Structure 1
Amino acid sequence: MIMRSRQNHYSYETAVALLLALGIVLARLDFSFAQVAWISYRVKHVLSQVTF
């Protein structure tokens, strides 16, 4: 049980790092900041529902 929650914590950190990288890529592709913020908010919302 403890092992699994630790794994989830690490995968959550990885997801956040990927989100940051994705945000940078989208910014370079000239997406508006509002779109990037909205997308990352939605993904964060979904992640918070999936991982307890």
Structure 2
Amino acid sequence: MIKRNYECPRIEISQIELEEGLAAGSATVRTPNASNQVTQEWQQDDTDYRVIEW
């Protein structure tokens, strides 16, 4: 059996600075069309009544 020297427990803290936030890459930007109008389209699915087990 090899005996090792005792090392005291330690806590390390890392500070991370985000550029724009957690969801910065999840947004989609749509530019205006030829008439310079911005359109919004919402896709609405049927209501889902499933029971989902967690």
Q: Using structure 1 for the length normalisation, give the TM-score.
A: 0.21
Q: Using structure 2 for the length normalisation, give the TM-score.
A: 0.21
Q: Relative CO higher for 1 or 2, CA cutoff 8 Å, sep ≥ 6?
A: 1
Of Structure 1 and Structure 2, the greater helix share is in 1
Q: Rg larger in 1 or in 2?
A: 2
